[in-house]
Structure 1
């Protein structure tokens, strides 16, 4: 099986984490421009609120550049979420940012859940294996929605509906179809020289056949051919092994620090 020739480009875990944050923020800003998601942008900080689902903490997300930017923004964050009727939200804290924990705790935030695993790779120093099966290029992400909902639950589709049936030049979608049905798929969101990978999923009945691995191989190789030099994603527990098999490395867990307003404080 032919592989692309590595060029040995060194990218640190910290650099990959920065690329991941920037790609996610751009992805969410794109959603904000076309749907119900709301955005607060401050120096070194980006917050997103989904007022249509105020009790879904996964949809209320804050990303920050450094501890100073986050601490300075904490009062504004509460005002932002309160103004949209949202009473709980989360700050995603990557590895190496432990200095934000004390100011978050003082402001009433608490760590919840096991966090989200960040992953990434340099496409220049990887041996990219072409997919062993034919992948279909999908025009829009419309067909990815039911696959993701079946795989991960209905909350997956909350932020997708406003733009799921349109095509965009910076979004590249691949899937595996059998007898007319899409069994697995995913997309790459290009920002600069970085491809962020999202919505990679396989129908339950089609698992165990390596289809997600083939989709990932196709997404990574296509991104390399488009001139992207880095690929990044947030991994679910279900997909972690797939991403490791195609060469992505674990960048550590982004811990959720959650603020929950009491009834008195929310009023």
Structure 2
């Protein structure tokens, strides 16, 4: 069987710069500051790896093509975020468009979308030439170089959870429209993620999880139950996730954010990486 063209969990490479010393000395490799484009690339790889976790435990379907990963949830055309294709290279996207179209239409999902990262002018051109147009709603993305901010452990005790029961329960209350889709996280085997939960008198109030890909922690499922909002619990969970990520050797954290949560992440030092756009065909 051929190797998967985009293996889930593969590290993002190419973020080191070689700076040579004077003649006769060693030539060390130094880590240069990460650009927003590099953080965006790390987020893309992390999101694809996270989608594969969903695929392994649920009904999410996947089509892997060179430089392209397509996911869908058959039977739920209303969940547009589940019917998305991601690409690493505009040329690969151009070559894959016929196969992508066939994949989604055979599953009766004409509303599928392609995700376009900020600043990708060539990818935009490929989509425009193929008759795609951007949706009005975009997804804010943010990134944090952990070395750019001081380590600030949480001020309250947080529970490291081996199961996802609390995370699922909290997020179901936060994102009620997702319904049973979150139940895939309750299935064995244990998820390769790092989940933290804030509790009070044994009651789970806030949570978040990190998924490591290479040396980057992707942050997901950060939520607080309605009656505990406004107390800074999500910020405490984030500080805990960052503190743990450092201890695992992570150098960056990346995430997608709702408009309501974006200011929280920016206060923690996250950079605004720009909005991810979703593009769909204007006509079949």
TM-score using structure 1 length: 0.88
**Residue of 185, 190, 194 corresponding to 2:212:** 190
Residue 19 (structure 1) aligns with: 42
TM-score using structure 2 length: 0.83
Residue 111 (structure 2) aligns with: 88
User: 1:96-175 to 2 correspondence within 5 Å?
Assistant: 96-155=119-178, 158=181, 160-166=182-188, 168=190, 170-175=192-197
- RMSD of the alignment, in Å? 1.9
Q: 2:147 aligns to what SS in structure 1?
A: coil
Q: CA deviation at 1:164?
A: 2.2
Aligned CA distance change for structure 1 residues 68 and 119 (closer, same or farther; 3 Å): same
Q: CA deviation at 1:169?
A: 6.3
Q: For the Cα contact (< 8 Å) 2:185–2:191, is it kept in 1?
A: no
Query: For the residues of structure 2 that align with 1:257 and 1:26, how far apart are their CA atoms?
Result: 21
| Unaligned ranges ≥5, structure 2 | 1-30
Q: CA deviation at 1:167?
A: 5.9
Query: For the residues of structure 1 that align with 2:224 and 2:191, how far apart are their CA atoms?
Result: 24
Residue 3 (structure 1) aligns with: none
Q: CA deviation at 1:198?
A: 0.3
Query: For the residues of structure 2 that align with 1:164 and 1:190, how far apart are their CA atoms?
Result: 19
| Unaligned ranges ≥5, structure 1 | 1-7
Q: 2:112 aligns to what SS in structure 1?
A: strand
**Residue of 241, 247, 263 corresponding to 2:269:** 247
Query: For the residues of structure 2 that align with 1:247 and 1:172, how far apart are their CA atoms?
Result: 21
Query: For the residues of structure 2 that align with 1:83 and 1:113, how far apart are their CA atoms?
Result: 26
Q: CA deviation at 1:108?
A: 3.3
1:172-195 deviation per Cα after TM superposition (whole angstroms, max 9, x unaligned): 000111132211101001112111
